[in-house]
Structure 1
Amino acid sequence: MRSDGAPGDVRTVDEVRALAALAHPDRARIMDALAVDGPSTTSALADVVGVATGSASHHLRVLAEAGLVERAPQDASDLRQRRWKLVSRGMRWSAGQFRDRPAAESAAAAADAVMLARDVDRARAFLASAEPPWDDVAVSGHTWLRLSADELAELGRQLDDLLLAWRRRDIPDDGADRRSVLAFVRAFPSRP
Structure 2
Amino acid sequence: MPDEPEPSSPPPARPTRRIDARSLRGLAHPLRMNILELLSLDGPATATGLAERLGENTGTVSWHLRHLAEHGFIEEETGRGTKRERWWRRTGVPNELNTADFRDDPSTRGALSVYLHELVGQYFSRVTDYLNEDWDDGWRASGTISDWHDLRLTPDQLRALNAELMAVIARHTPAPTDGANTATDDPEALPVVVQLQSFPRKRRDTR
Q: Same fold (TM over 0.5)?
A: yes
Pair 115,172 (structure 1): closer, same or farther in 2 beyond 3 Å: closer
Deviations 1:67-124 (A, max 9, x none): 211222323xx54342222124543324323122122233222201101012112212
CA pair 89-58 structure 1, distance change in 2 beyond 3 A: same
Structure 2 CA distance, aligned partners of 1:172 and 1:181?
Answer: 11
Shift of 1:161: 4.3
The CA distance in 1 between the partners of 2:82 and 2:174, in whole Å, is: 29
How many residues get paired? 183
Shift in CA distance, 152/182, structure 1 to aligned 2, threshold 3 Å: same
Q: Secondary structure at the match of 2:126?
A: helix
Q: What SS does the aligned partner of 1:74 have? A: strand
Match of 1:189 in 2: 200
Would the aligned equivalents of 2:32 and 2:68 in 1 still touch at CA under 8 Å? yes
Q: Share of identical aligned residues, percent? A: 28
Instruction: Summarize deviations over 1:50-73 as a string: whole Å, max 9, x none.
Output: 322111111111211222112223
Code of the residue aligned with 2:14 in structure 1: it is A
1:92 aligns to what? 96
Tell me, in whole angstroms, the C-alpha distance in 2 between the residues paired with 1:110 and 1:63: 16
SS at match of 1:73: strand
Measured in 2, the distance between the counterparts of 1:174 and 1:94 equals 36
Partner of 2:37, secondary structure, is: helix
In the alignment, which residue of structure 2 is the partner of 1:83? 87
CA separation in 2, counterparts of 1:173 and 1:146? 41
> What code does the residue aligned with 1:174 have?
D
What letter is aligned with 1:187? S
Task: Provide the rounded CA distance (Å) in 2 between the counterparts of 1:132 and 1:182.
Answer: 17
Give 2:153's aligned amino acid.
L
* Residues 130-141 of structure 1: pairs in structure 2 closer than 5 A: 130-133=134-137, 134-141=139-146
RMSD of aligned alpha carbons:
2.8
Decide which of 1, 5, 14 is 1:6's aligned counterpart: 14
| Structure 1 equivalent of residue 5 of structure 2 | none
TM-score by length of 2: 0.72
Contact 2:21 / 2:102 at 8 angstroms: preserved in 1?
Answer: no
> Deviation digits for residues 136-164 of structure 1, max 9, x if unmatched?
22111212433333443344444444435
1:18 aligns with 2:23: yes
Structure 2 CA distance for partners of 1:152 and 1:66, relative to 1, 3 Å = farther
Which is higher, the Rg of structure 1 or of structure 2? 2
- What is the aligned counterpart of 2:159 among 146, 153, 156? 153
Go from structure 1 to structure 2 and tell me whether the alpha carbon gap of 1:158 and 1:41 turns closer, same or farther (over 3 Å shift): farther
* C-alpha spacing 1:168/1:141, structure 2 compared with 1 (3 Å): same
Q: Which runs of 5+ in 1 are unaligned?
A: none
Q: CA deviation at 1:165?
A: 4.6
Gaps of 5+ in 2: 1-11, 176-180
Residues 189, 182 of structure 1: CA spacing in aligned structure 2 closer, same or farther, 3 A cutoff? same
**Per the alignment, do residues 148 and 12 of structure 1 end up closer, same or farther by CA in structure 2, a change over 3 Å counting?**
farther
